[in-house]
Amino acid sequence: MKDGNPPFPKPELGEPYLLTPGPLTTSIEVKRAMLRDWGSWDEDFRALTADLRRRLLALLGDMADAYECIPMQGSGTFGVEAMLGTFLPRDGKILVLSNGAYGARAAETVRYLGRELTVIDKGDYLPPRGEEVSAAIAADPAITHVLAIHCETSSGILNPLAEIAAATAAAGRQLLIDSMSAFGAIDLQPDSIPFEAMVSSANKCIEGVPGFGFVLARRDALKASKGNAHSLSLDLHAQWTVMEKTGQWRYTPPTHVVAAFIEALRIHQEEGGVPARGARYTANRDILVAGMRDIGFETLLDKRWLSPIIVTFFSPADPAFEFARFYELMKRQGYIIYPGKLTVVDSFRIGCIGRMDAAVMQGVVAAAAAALAEMGVDNAAPPEDALAERRKLSG
């Protein structure tokens, strides 16, 4: 939000705020954009698709001309699978940098594809580092590609993409990026972070509704990818070829979702683009984290790795705390939060993205305090062994 703007109105339809990593709270304008039906082959809809591709490419900055935008039907996972299947040659090998559920899912996807992989697994608390990428490639020259998760949404960790990209480029390998939950709020421009392809989806930081993902890929790599794909419907080269030729999607497009997304992109630009969106989310996170700490909660991550996307909090040790009840009490006050997705400790997550601002985040903290009081939780501190584990693993 630009300085001086009034706070966002409450969701106009009276529904609770979604403090989740997407689907998330969208504006009434985005919802309204879905009220018209579109013929998928019609010139008006083809113009929407062209506008969507042009606007997304523009977010890449000075090097946008070397890239192509290929939307793909389905949720983000479909887009990740399409990217991996299209850009990883059948005789290629990928180094998957994993520190949470989405890194693990990418590795599982590569196994499904039957392609070679090796994994660096950093657990839930720590980011993969540039020097680890350099060492892994030096030890295994068969590696052709590296897959990095930009924001690992399962913990909220913001991975150090610049040093990972630099290490990958220095070794002459290609970088694929899952920027599902970061693109649109955190800068990702190929002149500073060289990459072959990245993937994101409609219902994250651009604040659209779910229904498709999109891949931004270097044109030379896309041209060279012909014949790589394992799947008819997830072949990005084929989707691109048809879109270039006809302006249409290869198979039925999510027409209403595309129309909503154009509106979301317009609002994104009006707000001030990536820097302004990132600044709003950062302010949301700072208010949330400070407020939750004031009432006794602790974050899973060390401060320097906290993303402005979503924050994981340890569940309190107090036996009166029960997540299902906490969730219900939060919902009753108008806030839908998110369960944890960690392997080791009990936790829950609160998202900072979507059509929400400082006033909403203050409301979230007040609601959390009221929920604790209602449950009879006097102390929201996490179990001592969870903190000890964090200290041990954070080094």
Ligand X SMILES: Cc1ncc(COP(=O)(O)O)c(C=O)c1O
Which positions lie near ligand X, rule CB under 6 A? Answer: 21-22, 75-77, 80, 102, 149, 153, 178, 180-181, 201
* Cβ closest to ligand X, residue 68 vs residue 178: 178
The residue with tokens 């040093």 is: 163
CB of 21 to ligand X, least distance (A): 5
Question: What is the Cα–Cα distance from 94 to 111, expressed in whole angstroms?
Answer: 11
Of 187 and 322, the one with the shorter C-beta distance to ligand X is 187
Residue 18 belongs to what H/E stretch?
Answer: strand 17-18
Query: Positive or negative, the Cα torsion across 8, 14, 20, 22?
Result: negative
Quickly tell me which residue has 């062994």 as its tokens.
Answer: 385
Sign of the alpha-carbon dihedral angle for 148, 150, 153, 157: positive
Which residues have CB under 8 Å from 232's CB, separation 6+?
238
What interhelical angle do 255-271 and 273-294 show, nearest 10? Answer: 80
Residue 178: CB minimum distance to ligand X, A: 5
46 or 155: CB nearest ligand X: 155
Residue closest to ligand X, measured at CB = 76
How far apart are the C-alpha atoms of 184 and 273, rounded to whole Å? 7
Q: Kindly tell me which of 341 and 390 has the beta carbon lying closer to ligand X.
A: 341
Shortest Å distance, C-beta 343 to ligand X: 16
Residue with tokens 């490639």: 137
Instruction: For residues 27 and 177, give the distance between their C-alpha atoms in angstroms, rounded to a whole number.
Output: 28
| Nearest distance, CB of residue 7 and ligand X, angstroms | 27
State the helix-helix crossing angle for 236-246 and 76-87, rounded to 10 degrees: 100
Please identify, using beta-carbon distances, which residue of 102 and 321 lies nearer to ligand X.
Answer: 102
**Whose Cβ is closer to ligand X: residue 206's or residue 367's?**
206
Spatial separation of the C-alpha atoms in residues 335 and 327, rounded to whole Å: 9
* Cβ closest to ligand X, residue 180 vs residue 292: 180
Least distance in Å: CB of 264 to ligand X?
A: 16
Instruction: Provide the H-helix boundaries in 250-346.
Output: 255-271, 273-294, 323-332
**Is 121 strand, coil or helix?**
strand
Contact residues for 3 (Cβ-Cβ < 8 A; gap 6+): none
Task: Report the residue number, 149 or 166, with the smaller CB distance to ligand X.
Answer: 149
| Torsion angle defined by CA atoms of residues 34, 36, 40 and 46, in that order, rounded to the nearest 10 degrees | -80
In the complex, the smallest distance separating the C-beta of residue 291 from ligand X, rounded to whole angstroms, is: 24
Question: Least CB distance from residue 296 to ligand X, whole Å?
Answer: 28
Q: At its nearest, how many Å lie between ligand X and the CB of residue 8?
A: 23
